Structure 1
Amino acid sequence: MDFFKYIHAVGTGPKGNRDLSFEESKDMMQQVLDQSVPSEQIAAFLLGWRLKPETTEEFRGALAACDEQTQKENVPNSIELGYPFDGKAKNPYIFPLVARMLEKTDLNLVIMGDEKQPAKDGITIKNICENISLHKNIKYFDRKNYLNKLHNLTNTRNKLGLRSGFNTIEKLPKVANSSYAITGVFHKPYVKKYVEIFSDKYERFALIQGNEGTPELFSKGRLWIAKGDDVEEIIIDPKYYGIHYQKSWDKITLQDSLNQLNNPSDEYLKLAQLNAAVYLFIAQKYDSIEEAFEALN
């Protein structure tokens, strides 16, 4: 279809806008990935799509187009961690320490990274993975290799400078064919949408009120486990496990983040243990987070 028809569908205002079908959204995404239309039209569509806003069916169609282009590699016994591609700005990452806690288990962590995307000016997964030695149970996938066409849209997205529907669909590409996955979510209303988009792709799918939108728990929050159409909600409080880590509210540098990973405090290590226990529970290695936490002692 003529791409301008997709711009018209999302950019004519409340009275003229309409939702795209699955097939239309897939075609739209294929044209965007191929960059067969001008970057100005891509940016115009992304802005209108965000304001309309996007539907579950549209997300699923766009995701299907990405899936057909994704170069995959099987990583057995793995859980895919869906991080935002705009990074973390105020706190360090904890996944390298989580991997350290999981070394004696058979669970592998799958993470994905790329150059920074809008809109947060954060430290990215790619920044960390290029500056630290990763444990052997972490499999890092660079999007430049597994989905180069989406990587090539980085410049257009950064010129737009705003979040778009891509920020949602890019989190979980299932690049390693993992049976389990978890991603972060800011607001509870988005839980249902994420479940509708992603849950049928995994044996078990989870969301967490993670630090800065990541699948990393730093303070009291909710964990949601999708079971078909049902979603179980679990409250997790680090203080219950004797953890009193104080998260930062100030912007940190890449070096600050690396320093905390290379020289972790006792509280930060205990927080890593709790996150590792959450992942083991999601991957059905233990019947509860408490049981997994104790097993890691």
Structure 2
Amino acid sequence: MDFFKYIHAVGTGAKANRDLTFEESKDMMSQILNQSVYSEQIAAFLLGWRLKPETTQEFRGVVEACDMFIEKTPVANSIELGYPFDGKVNNPFMFPLIAKVLENSALNLVVVGDDLAPAKKGITLKEVATNIKLNKNIYYFDRADFFKEMHNLTDLRMRLGLRTGLNTIEKLTHVGESEYAITGVFHKPFVKKYVEIFAHKYKRLALIQGNEGTPELFSKGRLWIVNGSDVEEFIVDPQYYGINYSKSWEKITLQESLEQTNNPSDGLLKLARLNAAVFLFVAQKASSIDEAYEKLNG
């Protein structure tokens, strides 16, 4: 379809805008990924789509289109960790520490990195993963290698400088064909949205109120696990496990982030152990977070 019809659908105002069908969304995203239309048209659509706003049906069509471009590499016994591509600003990434805790747990971690995307100007997962020695149970995938079409949109997105619908759908790629996945959400309404978009792709999907939109819990928060058509909610409180870690509210540098990961405090190590327990529970390797935490504390 002529791409202008998609711009018209999202850019003519509240009275004339309309939602795209699944097939239209799939075609729209395919044209964007192929960059078979002008960059100005892509930017115009993404901005209008965000303001309309996007629907779950549209997101599902977009994800279906992305799947046609992603080169997958199966990783057995793995859980995919869905991180945002706009980075972390105030606290270090914990996944390298979590992996060390899980060394003997037969659970591999799949993580994806790329260059910085809007809108936070944070430290990216790619910067950490390429500047630190990763445990053998971490499978790091660079999006420039397995999904270059999305990677190639980075410059355009940075010039636009705003969050778009791509921020919502890009955290979970299923690149390792993992049976399990967990990603961070800021607000409860996004739980239903993520369930409707992604739950069918995984044996078990979990959402967590993680630090800075990541799947890493630094303070008391909610965990939602999808079981068939039901979504079960849990409260995870580090203080319940005797962990009194004070997360930072100040911006840190890449070097400070790497230093905290390479030489973690006792509190950060305990927090990593709790997050590891959450991952084991999500991946059905423990019947509860408490059981997993006790095992990891051996």
**Normalised TM-score (structure 1):** 1.00
Question: Match of 2:15?
Answer: 15
Within 5 A, what are the aligned runs for 1:243-254? 243-254=243-254
Question: Match of 2:119?
Answer: 119
Amino acid at match of 1:36: S
Within 5 A, what are the aligned runs for 1:29-68? 29-68=29-68
- The yes-or-no answer on 1:93 pairing with 2:93 is yes
> Which whole-Å CA distance do the structure 1 matches of 2:218 and 2:145 have between them?
31
Amino acid at match of 1:285: K
Question: Match of 2:240?
Answer: 240
Amino acid at match of 1:71: E
Question: In percent, how many aligned pairs have the same letter?
Answer: 71
Amino acid at match of 2:151: H
Question: Match of 1:210?
Answer: 210
User: C-alpha deviations, 1:42-83, integer Å up to 9, x for none?
Assistant: 000000000000000100101111101100001000000000
Question: Match of 1:103?
Answer: 103
> Which whole-Å CA distance do the structure 1 matches of 2:91 and 2:262 have between them?
14
Within 5 A, what are the aligned runs for 1:249-260? 249-260=249-260
- The yes-or-no answer on 1:148 pairing with 2:148 is yes
> Which whole-Å CA distance do the structure 2 matches of 1:36 and 1:263 have between them?
47
Alignment: residue pair count = 297
> Which whole-Å CA distance do the structure 2 matches of 1:204 and 1:49 have between them?
29
**Normalised TM-score (structure 2):** 0.99
> Which whole-Å CA distance do the structure 2 matches of 1:167 and 1:140 have between them?
20
Amino acid at match of 1:115: D
Amino acid at match of 1:75: V
What SS does the aligned partner of 1:85 have? coil
Task: Quote the offset at 1:143 in angstroms.
Answer: 0.3
Amino acid at match of 2:161: G
Question: Match of 1:263?
Answer: 263
Question: Match of 2:81?
Answer: 81
What SS does the aligned partner of 1:33 have? helix
Amino acid at match of 2:124: T
> Which whole-Å CA distance do the structure 1 matches of 2:210 and 2:229 have between them?
22
Task: Quote the offset at 1:228 in angstroms.
Answer: 2.2
What SS does the aligned partner of 2:178 have? coil
> Which whole-Å CA distance do the structure 1 matches of 2:129 and 2:280 have between them?
23
User: C-alpha deviations, 1:77-98, integer Å up to 9, x for none?
Assistant: 0000000000000110100000
> Which whole-Å CA distance do the structure 2 matches of 1:223 and 1:269 have between them?
20
Runs of 4+ in 1 over 2 A off after TM superposition: none
What SS does the aligned partner of 1:89 have? coil
> Which whole-Å CA distance do the structure 1 matches of 2:190 and 2:34 have between them?
29
Question: Match of 1:132?
Answer: 132
User: C-alpha deviations, 1:211-233, integer Å up to 9, x for none?
Assistant: 00000000000000011221100
Question: Match of 1:169?
Answer: 169
**Root-mean-square deviation (Å):** 0.5
What SS does the aligned partner of 2:68 have? helix
User: C-alpha deviations, 1:195-250, integer Å up to 9, x for none?
Assistant: 00001100000000000000000000000001122110000000000100000000
What SS does the aligned partner of 1:223 have? strand
> Which whole-Å CA distance do the structure 2 matches of 1:94 and 1:173 have between them?
20
Question: Match of 2:276?
Answer: 276
Question: Match of 1:231?
Answer: 231
> Which whole-Å CA distance do the structure 2 matches of 1:227 and 1:102 have between them?
24
